[in-house]
């Protein structure tokens, strides 16, 4: 009986808005015949990233595409890894003769180290290996000292004095994402000056083992051969990688990222400019970190995809509404101490719905 080689797995981590989903889409669009399964760990009640990735079917039928995208619900992998990750991996292991590679996109608030350690479990270790952990860095945000394009979430004093002992939770998580990396992508490199990019490279290098490569990219556009086939075997050495959260898994109260809320809101059709103006106001008033979702625009046959980081919004019409599909607007708002009822009421008032 032929022995199957271990199935390589690439883990893509990075903060919200750094460009992880864009990188995965690029990898799928350039798969060159590779049979790739995708696991999306979505922070939020709606599977929005999963929806986006399912569009990248590379010529597959809808049924085949649905079979290749697995999705873990509700966010933080360090909390859900045992409950949800293992059954998904077991199913993929059973089908590994049909696969060439697995891609995992973590939540922007997840810690990568516990996920990599899960590949030490005997049933997974015998069948899979972590080809590489890729950490995607939002270069303009790091250049601005905010790490995640959320300036209100970073301790202003620490930004002024890097020698202070106190670190914000975001900086600790940023450091932990880098600590697990086998490859770091300085994304959005085209959006900052060469001088700022050089500063970002130096700051990132301070958190990395010397052997970890750092490369620059715009919109995650890199040759696939640079991204996969690294053969890092990350599960073999992850225990030696120090992170701020190494001792934080004994009690739930130690999870810094538990402070982040994710709420979902469903609305009827909405005027595009009114909706974006209303969302911008909510971001400013309530410190919302991320907005993602779909909007139904009156008179438009296509669905509007909306992704916002801070007050910066990207939008485009991604596909036709299905004949039997309800034309509703569905949004996920991510932030700290969010009041779901208040946010929905403000949105409805602004849209007069």
- Residue limits of CATH 3.30.1220.10 in the chain: 261-351
For residue 218, give the nearest of 189, 184, 185, 195 by alpha carbon. 189
Model confidence at 245: pLDDT above 90: no
C-alpha 11/C-alpha 136 separation (Å) is 11
Q: Which residue has the tokens 């929905």?
A: 344
Which architecture, in CATH terms, is 7-240? 3-Layer(aba) Sandwich (3.40)
- Out of 33-47, 67-81, 224-238, 250-264, which region has the weakest mean confidence (pLDDT)? 250-264
- Out of 16-25, 124-133, 186-195, which region has the weakest mean confidence (pLDDT)? 16-25
Q: What sign does the dihedral 282-263-153-291 (CA atoms) show? A: negative
For residue 141, give the nearest of 291, 280, 15, 283 by alpha carbon. 15
C-alpha 100/C-alpha 273 separation (Å) is 44
User: pTM (2 decimals)?
Assistant: 0.70
How far from 255 is each of 172, 215, 259, 296, CA to CA, in Å? Answer: 12, 30, 8, 36
Model confidence at 315: pLDDT above 70: yes
pLDDT of the residue at 28: 87
For residue 64, give the nearest of 102, 98, 21 by alpha carbon. 98
Average of pLDDT values for 248-267? 58
C-alpha 174/C-alpha 198 separation (Å) is 18
pLDDT of the residue at 160: 37
What residues are paired with 9 via a beta bridge? 102, 130
What residues are paired with 138 via a beta bridge? 187
C-alpha 188/C-alpha 226 separation (Å) is 17
More reliable by pLDDT, 222 or 336: 222
Average of pLDDT values for 170-185? 83
pLDDT of the residue at 246: 55
Per DSSP bridges, beta strands 69-72 and 36-41 are parallel
What phi-psi label fits residue 25: left (phi over 0), alpha (psi between -120 and 50 degrees) or beta? alpha
Burial class from Cβ neighbours inside 10 Å (0-12, 13-18, 19+) for residue 326 reads: exposed
Q: Which residue has the tokens 């750094």?
A: 18
Average of pLDDT values for 255-275? 77
C-alpha 141/C-alpha 99 separation (Å) is 36
C-alpha 336/C-alpha 333 separation (Å) is 10
Mind giving me the DSSP string for 47-98? -HHHHHHHT--TT--HHHHHHHEEEE-SS-HHHHIIIIIHHHHHHHHHTGGG
Report the CATH number of the 261-351 domain.
Answer: 3.30.1220.10
Residue 90 C-alpha from the chain's centroid: 23
- Residue limits of CATH 3.40.50.300 in the chain: 7-240
Average of pLDDT values for 133-147? 86
């Amino acid at each position: 009986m032929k022995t199957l080689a271990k199935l390589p797995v690439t883990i893509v981590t990075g903060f919200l808005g750094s460009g992880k989903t864009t990188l995965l889409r690029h990898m799928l669009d350039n798969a060159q015949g590779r049979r790739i399964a995708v696991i999306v760990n979505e922070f939020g009640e709606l599977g929005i990233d999963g929806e986006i990735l399912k569009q990248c079917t590379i010529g597959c039928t809808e049924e085949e595409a649905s079979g290749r995208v697995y999705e873990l619900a509700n966010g933080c992998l360090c909390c859900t890894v045992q409950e949800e990750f293992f059954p998904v991996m077991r199913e993929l292991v059973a089908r590994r003769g049909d696969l060439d590679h697995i891609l995992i996109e973590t939540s922007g608030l997840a810690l990568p180290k516990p996920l990599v350690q899960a590949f030490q479990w005997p049933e997974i270790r015998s069948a899979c290996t972590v080809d590489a952990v890729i950490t995607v860095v939002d270069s303009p945000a790091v250049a601005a000292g905010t790490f995640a394009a959320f300036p209100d979430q970073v301790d202003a004093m620490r930004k002024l004095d890097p020698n202070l002992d106190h670190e914000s939770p975001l900086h600790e998580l940023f450091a932990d994402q880098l600590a697990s990396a086998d490859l770091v992508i300085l994304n959005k490199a085209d959006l900052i000056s060469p001088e700022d990019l050089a500063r970002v490279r130096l700051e990132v290098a301070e958190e990395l083992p010397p052997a970890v490569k750092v490369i620059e990219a715009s919109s995650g556009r890199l040759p696939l051969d640079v991204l996969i086939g690294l053969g890092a075997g990350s599960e073999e050495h992850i225990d030696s990688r120090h992170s701020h959260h190494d001792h934080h898994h004994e009690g739930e109260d130690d999870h810094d990222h538990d402070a982040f809320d994710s709420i979902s809101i469903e609305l009827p059709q909405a005027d595009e400019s009114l909706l974006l103006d209303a969302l911008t106001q909510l971001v400013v008033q309530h410190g919302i970190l991320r907005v993602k979702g779909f909007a139904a625009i009156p008179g438009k046959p296509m669905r509007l995809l909306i992704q916002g980081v801070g007050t910066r919004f990207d939008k485009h019409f991604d596909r036709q509404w299905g004949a039997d599909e309800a034309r509703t607007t569905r949004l996920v708002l991510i932030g700290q101490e969010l009041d779901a009822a208040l946010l929905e009421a403000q949105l409805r008032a602004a849209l007069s719905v």
